[in-house]
Amino acid sequence: MIILSTVVTVTAGMVWQQARAVEVEAAERARTQAAWILGGALDWARLILSEDARNNRQRGRNFDALDEPWATPLAEARLSTFLAADQDNNADSGPDAFLSGAIVDAQSRFNLRALVDGAGKVVPVQLAAFQRLCQLTGLPGDAAERIATGLGAASQPADVEANAPLRPERLADLAWLDIDAATIARLAPWADLLPVPTPVNVNTAPREVLVAAIDGLDLGTAERLVQQRQRKPFATLAEVKAQLGESLPLDAARVSVDSRYFEVAGRLRLEDRVLEERSLLERRPGQRASDVIVLRRERHSFLASLR
């Protein structure tokens, strides 16, 4: 009996280890496949942006707007619908995978990088603009000044500020400046942290961001700008100026009608697992997909039931 019990115990352990190894291998294979699919989706987004630039150049357009193909989100769809039909129905033999995604103009948001200059000093006009945005979106009253001060300290040369915090590279990094997670989450729809200062695109920004970027603009006039661009996007800043009148000056360093930076969000749902990826792209002058550069990628995995 002792020998039999030992054999059963050893056998059970081997079976468990084998089953566990199979589960780990299956999970790793699914992760690799999901990453490959999202990588393909990112390449597809790069192709769309480069094709958009080529089409704009051919049509003599020098602006980016929400009526272009890149601005149409991809609703969640079964992955097999993107593949050629299989006459033997082999596509139905595996687990269901669903893909969705969107391309968002990163310059439709207020760029926090513009709050400080190259020497790490706070730019007063940009701080005032950011304060207006915080007020309109219900953010804490001191959030703008705390973020600007923190970014200024983080941008100081090492020999000037020995205890300077790390320089944030993305919005979530504002936590390094003692900005709480709730404030960062509320700020996310309205602001971003791009590699360099950029103007706000009048053709894509929400009205709250337009009020921040254009001194003297009120919400009512900003709403009229939004309605006007829905009928016909602004091709030049002169057209925006004509809509606003002479009383509101436009600064080409703060507002524009075109964009260089875009955010690509991809989401893959495979059974009970979800893999999300966000990438920041820079579209440089050119006509090829290789002219659309991936600056950063962030990937998150979780159970679908947890979201």
The CATH number given to whatever domain includes residue 276 is 3.30.1300.30
Is the same domain home to 102 and 34?
yes
Across residues 224-230, what is the average pLDDT? 96
Q: Which residue has the higher pLDDT, 282 or 249?
A: 282
Is the same domain home to 212 and 264?
no
**In the prediction, which pLDDT does 81 show?**
62
Q: Which of 216-225, 266-275, 284-293 has the highest mean pLDDT?
A: 216-225
Q: How many CB atoms sit inside 10 A of residue 88's CB?
A: 7
pLDDT digits (tens, 9 = 90+) for 246-276: 888 899 999 999 999 999 999 888 777 888 8
In a domain, 295, yes or no: yes
Q: Examine the pLDDT at 22 and tell me if it is beyond 60.
A: no
Q: Examine the pLDDT at 192 and tell me if it is beyond 70.
A: yes
Q: Examine the pLDDT at 124 and tell me if it is beyond 70.
A: yes
Q: In which residue are the tokens 């039931």 written?
A: 305
Q: Is 278 exposed, middle or buried (0-12, 13-18, 19+ CB in 10 A)?
A: middle
In a domain, 18, yes or no: no
What domain count does the chain have? 3
Give 24's pLDDT tier (boundaries 50, 70, 90): low
Residue at which a domain ends, from 189, 224, 243: 189
pLDDT digits (tens, 9 = 90+) for 47-104: 999 999 888 888 888 999 999 999 999 888 887 665 554 445 554 555 678 888 999 9
The overall pTM is greater than 0.85: no
Q: Which of 68-82, 98-112, 146-160, 278-292 has the highest mean pLDDT?
A: 98-112
**In the prediction, which pLDDT does 289 show?**
63
**In the prediction, which pLDDT does 28 show?**
57
**In the prediction, which pLDDT does 268 show?**
87
In a domain, 246, yes or no: yes
**In the prediction, which pLDDT does 79 show?**
72
- Residue 167: domain span: 111-189
Is the same domain home to 132 and 181?
yes
Kindly state the tokens that stand for 282: 């820079």
Could you tell me if 262 and 279 are in contact, meaning their C-beta atoms sit under 8 angstroms apart?
no
**In the prediction, which pLDDT does 121 show?**
92
**In the prediction, which pLDDT does 95 show?**
61
Q: Examine the pLDDT at 30 and tell me if it is beyond 70.
A: no
Is the same domain home to 41 and 63?
yes
Give 243's pLDDT tier (boundaries 50, 70, 90): very high
In a domain, 164, yes or no: yes
In a domain, 24, yes or no: no
Could you tell me if 204 and 107 are in contact, meaning their C-beta atoms sit under 8 angstroms apart?
yes
Rg over alpha carbons for the chain, rounded to the nearest Å, is 25
Q: Examine the pLDDT at 11 and tell me if it is beyond 60.
A: yes
**In the prediction, which pLDDT does 85 show?**
47
**In the prediction, which pLDDT does 39 show?**
77
Q: Which residue has the higher pLDDT, 15 or 233?
A: 233
304 Cβ contact partners less than 8 Å away, ≥ 6 residues apart? 269, 272, 273, 274
In a domain, 130, yes or no: yes
Q: Which residue has the higher pLDDT, 266 or 7?
A: 266
Q: Which of 73-87, 102-116, 234-248 has the highest mean pLDDT?
A: 102-116
In a domain, 289, yes or no: yes
Angstrom distance (rounded) from CA 122 to CA 144: 11
Across residues 113-118, what is the average pLDDT? 93
Q: Examine the pLDDT at 26 and tell me if it is beyond 90.
A: no
- Average pLDDT for the chain: 84
Across residues 131-156, what is the average pLDDT? 92
Is the same domain home to 216 and 269?
no
In a domain, 173, yes or no: yes
Could you tell me if 134 and 152 are in contact, meaning their C-beta atoms sit under 8 angstroms apart?
no
